[in-house]
Structure 1
């Protein structure tokens, strides 16, 4: 008598669901491991940005607990038509960033090229070059404030030895901004050196050697071989330093104090927004300035990131 074949046992539904979830988790494990940190960072960024955006649409002032009214884009209209403080602060911000970044790139490239080839004592030279990065910007600002003091500062004493009269440096209306730019260059050029030197050491020697055999001069090899190959690294250095220079606050506040000086000679957007918040308690207008400043930084990041992708193609 034939025995009927038993149907195969079906795996439990829970086991199949667990296996499907396990396979999905294994396939997306890199996102799952990074998700907690990404969510945490997103919340940290989203909440302050959202609250600042809300304040920019109100007339909040006096105290953060005081009642405020929704006024829409009135603060933005007032800020964007302010030619006394806002637009001069925008101009100083871009002048500070452009001049500091340009000089830092030129000096950084020159120093990186000097350190590119090994030489005796190069380790000590590299340590000496990196020393400005050790101190905080506030400490650097206070140090240079003493050096540039018009009465007891070492800078004027040094000029006196060569027959030049004392200079106002940080206390002058027209010399303060170039002076703080110099201080920023002194502190942050080593960072550009590190980035460019890392890029130089990763380059292959074959293109340079081939050009040398063909009779190319040192300048031609640098211009047509080294710079094009190093361009992605240069864009990274520009991206990092431009964003950092745009946001500079501690150095300016340590050297000039409130308002960027008596004549607002070094008042950038960061210093201006700080003064509106903590000196005048005008939180609505200060939030408006910060939102506009945030959009400027995002635009700069977008342009430089897009440029970097074009270079890498």
Structure 2
């Protein structure tokens, strides 16, 4: 070995050691860079459009107008703020029922019983279909004239209900459909958390005389809290950005009276119905900030629970 090759070997050894110490980042770097490009470019372009008066066509010339679009959107009490309220009502109501119902079903499936495999398969069936297919199916079921729902009510002497066609019942109906489809996802997450729990705390509480409710409230729920927050985080983000189900059941504008128009549906209408890309981008940026804020709150809550 020559003297000149020693520095080269030493440099290669230093690089090899550095790469070995940071191998998890090196292996993940290409995928992270690809995902970053996919996120950063559309977000930056949407932010730029929100500061312009872009409309009519994406190739049409537009002028920079600063925060004029944000002022117009944030002062819109006819469409924007009602859409914000519907977004949070839809998300909050669906999430609350899904968490309660999902926990009840997960507790029932926690202990082995005869035929549990078939029951689990049946519970997961709503997740097989796409939201658009689910929306069209329930649209037929809730049809005010030929739908099975009103036929079933007639058997018990209950008058027919407007369901999806009613201005006061449409939002509650689509919340029910979302609950029907996505509760199984919550069940899967919570059941995975329950099966990973140690049985020793529950057995110790049982020996001390604690009843089933006390064991659930003071042992199962605290131990399950990190898993519960994960389920809330995943479902809340997914429910906030729901679009396909709402569009499949109510069409443009969330109905004739915008009865199920959430922020996603509102932004879609501004873009593809009115070709107002500046205002649509503004709504999407505000919506993006709302989702980021929700993620931050839930993530902080999860870290506090883990501590």
TM over 0.5: yes
Q: Give the total of aligned pairs.
A: 306
How far is 1:259 from its partner?
Answer: 0.0
- Partner residue, 2:133: 139
2:113 maps to 1:119 = yes
Q: 1:148 aligns with which of 117, 127, 142?
A: 142
Question: Residue 66 of structure 1: SS of its match in structure 2?
Answer: coil
Alignment of 1:226-305 (within 5 A): 226-305=220-299
Q: 1:200 aligns with which of 194, 198, 217?
A: 194
2:169 maps to 1:175 = yes
CA RMSD, Structure 1 to Structure 2 (Å): 0.9
How far is 1:11 from its partner?
Answer: 3.9
Which segment is superposed worse, 27-36 or 13-22?
13-22
- Partner residue, 2:304: 310
Question: Residue 237 of structure 2: SS of its match in structure 1?
Answer: helix
TM-score, scaled relative to structure 1: 0.97
Question: Residue 69 of structure 1: SS of its match in structure 2?
Answer: coil
Distance between the aligned counterparts of 1:249 and 1:290, measured in 2?
A: 13
**CA distances 1:109-146 after superposition (whole Å, capped 9, x unpaired):** 00000000000000000000000000000000000000
TM-score, scaled relative to structure 2: 0.98
- Partner residue, 2:65: 71
2:82 maps to 1:96 = no
How far is 1:16 from its partner?
Answer: 2.2
- Partner residue, 2:101: 107
- Partner residue, 1:5: none
Question: Residue 12 of structure 1: SS of its match in structure 2?
Answer: helix
Structure showing greater Rg: 1
How far is 1:14 from its partner?
Answer: 2.4
Distance between the aligned counterparts of 1:155 and 1:33, measured in 2?
A: 54
**Structure 1: gaps (5+ residues):** 1-7
